[in-house]
């Protein structure tokens, strides 16, 4: 009995120990599985609209992930992710401190022009991230480098122009040239390291370009005088254009009148020529009669408006005078005098 009871107790102990070991192994397995699942789940990441993720494997650039929503990569320390917004437009403001009132007299960045004058310039830079890997790992402080490069570009462009060009005449050129110079400078930074440019510069907008506050009133008077000069020049150009147009119109009118007069004279000459040819034919048929007729017509033309008579010179007695009137004068209704 004692021996059998000892065996039963030993068996129960073995069973208990086996169950405990099995439970322990099961719990340890669950814990290990939970740790593994937790580790694997740490590779999950979510990309918002407009974001891209730089995936690094053991510190090396593996890929750029741009699929929106949940994505996965091998957890750290095998792979890392860094999300960057590449679609949103970013703005850097230069020369205007945040919180300044709109009616305060503000002083921007002081820059020297080519003619040794000083101007106060305030501008903003609009840009987006072009390459997320270069933006995150291509330089230590990308925003600071961009800030300094933008200031340098604008200073260089302003330094190559006169104060009148910067203040009035070539403001748009300052924006365009500064943007081109900034893009060239930033691309040079990254091309030297064999990386893609990190920034896409959208534009540079000049906010305010003024003389320094101490001489602003004098510059305003000069600017007003220059505007008056431009207005007077434009008025003179308008008057010049008006006079030229009027002169061209008068010249065209005179030319057309001359052509019309020329054609009229040509037609008149042709008519006279045809009339002369007809008179010549008549003269050849009756020379004496035609000669007398031409003589009387000539006298009508030489002495217009005078009543004329033809008197036979060899008549033995006074013959009645014969009045000579042109049909045209008769048609106009001139009164006839009685014959004598």
The pLDDT of residue 243 is above 90: yes
Look at the alpha carbons of 94, 99, 101, 106 in this order and tell me if their dihedral is positive or negative. negative
Q: pLDDT grade, residue 330 (50/70/90)?
A: very low
More confident residue, 63 or 330: 63
Q: What is the pLDDT of residue 338?
A: 37
The pLDDT of residue 178 is above 90: yes
Q: pLDDT grade, residue 242 (50/70/90)?
A: very high
Give the pLDDT confidence of 257-292 residue by residue, as tens digits. Answer: 999 999 998 998 988 888 888 878 877 888 887 788
Alpha-carbon gap, residue 307 to 300, rounded angstroms: 9
* Mean per-residue pLDDT of the chain: 78
Residues 6+ apart with CB under 8 A from 192: none
Nearest to 126 by CA among 100, 102, 146: 146
Identify the H or E element spanning 326: none
Tokens of 44: 């999950």
Q: What is the pLDDT of residue 316?
A: 44
- Weakest mean pLDDT among 241-245, 302-306, 311-315: 311-315
Q: What is the pLDDT of residue 6?
A: 60
- Weakest mean pLDDT among 9-18, 94-103, 143-152, 199-208: 94-103
- 207 beta partners: none
The residue-averaged pLDDT of 232-259 equals 92
Q: What DSSP string runs through 154-182?
A: HHHHHHTS-HHIIIIITHHHHHHHHHHHH
The single-letter DSSP state of residue 140 is: S
Give the pLDDT confidence of 79-105 residue by residue, as tens digits. Answer: 777 788 888 888 889 886 544 444 445
- Weakest mean pLDDT among 14-18, 139-143, 204-208, 252-256: 14-18
Q: Which domains does the chain have, with CATH numbers?
A: 16-83 (no CATH), 89-96+107-210 (3.30.479.30), 302-340 (no CATH)
3-class SS shares of the chain: helix, strand, coil, % to 5: 55, 20, 25
- Weakest mean pLDDT among 41-45, 84-88, 184-188: 41-45
The residue-averaged pLDDT of 163-192 equals 87
Share of the chain above pLDDT 70, in %: 84
Q: What is the 3-state secondary structure (H, E, C) of 75-138?
A: CCCCEEEEEEECCCCEEEEECCCCCCCCCCCCCCEEEECCCCCEEEEEEEEEEEECCHHHHHHC
Q: What is the 3-state secondary structure (H, E, C) of 28-72?
A: HHHHHHHHHHHHHHCCEEEECCCEEEEEEECCEEEEEECCCEEEE
Which range scores top for mean pLDDT: 68-72, 77-81, 140-144? 140-144
Tell me the C-alpha to C-alpha distance, in Å, between residue 250 and each of 207, 257, 259, 262, 263: 51, 10, 14, 18, 20
Contact 119, 154 (CB under 8 A): no
In 141-265, beta strands by DSSP E: 199-210
- 210 beta partners: 120
Q: What is the pLDDT of residue 284?
A: 82
Distance of CA 301 to the CA centre of its chain: 74
Nearest to 83 by CA among 49, 42, 40: 49
Q: What is the pLDDT of residue 153?
A: 93
Nearest to 108 by CA among 98, 96, 116: 96
């Amino acid at each position: 009995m004692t021996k059998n009871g000892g065996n039963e107790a030993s068996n129960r102990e073995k069973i208990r120990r086996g169950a405990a070991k099995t439970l322990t192994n099961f719990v340890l397995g669950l814990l290990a599985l939970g740790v593994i699942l937790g580790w694997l789940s740490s590779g999950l990441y979510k990309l918002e609209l407009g974001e891209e993720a730089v995936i690094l494997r053991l510190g090396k650039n593996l890929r750029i992930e741009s699929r929106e929503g949940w994505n996965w990569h091998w957890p750290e320390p095998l792979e890392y992710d860094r999300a960057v917004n590449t679609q949103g437009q970013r703005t850097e403001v230069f020369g205007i401190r945040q919180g300044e009132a709109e009616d305060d007299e503000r002083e921007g960045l002081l820059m020297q022009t080519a003619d040794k004058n000083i101007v106060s310039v305030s501008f903003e830079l609009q840009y987006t991230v072009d390459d997320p890997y270069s933006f995150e790992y291509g330089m230590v402080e990308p925003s600071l480098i961009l800030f300094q490069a933008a200031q340098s570009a604008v200073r260089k462009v302003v330094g190559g122009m006169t104060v009148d060009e910067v203040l009035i005449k070539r403001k748009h050129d300052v924006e365009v040239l500064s943007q081109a110079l900034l893009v060239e400078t930033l691309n040079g930074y990254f091309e030297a390291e064999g990386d893609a440019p990190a920034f896409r510069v959208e534009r540079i907008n000049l906010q305010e370009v003024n003389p320094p506050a101490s001489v602003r009133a004098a510059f305003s008077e000069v600017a007003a005088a220059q505007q008056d000069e431009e207005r007077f020049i434009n008025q003179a150009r308008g008057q010049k254009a008006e006079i030229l147009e009027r002169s061209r119109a008068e010249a065209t009118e005179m030319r057309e009148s001359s052509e019309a007069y020329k054609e009229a004279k040509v037609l008149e000459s042709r008519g006279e020529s045809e009339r002369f040819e007809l008179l010549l034919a008549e003269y050849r048929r009756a020379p004496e009669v035609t000669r007398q007729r031409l003589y009387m017509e000539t006298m009508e033309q030489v002495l217009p408006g005078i009543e004329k008579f033809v008197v036979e010179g060899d008549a033995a007695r006074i013959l009645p005078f014969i009045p000579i009137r042109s049909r045209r004068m008769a048609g106009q209704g001139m009164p006839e005098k009685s014959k004598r």
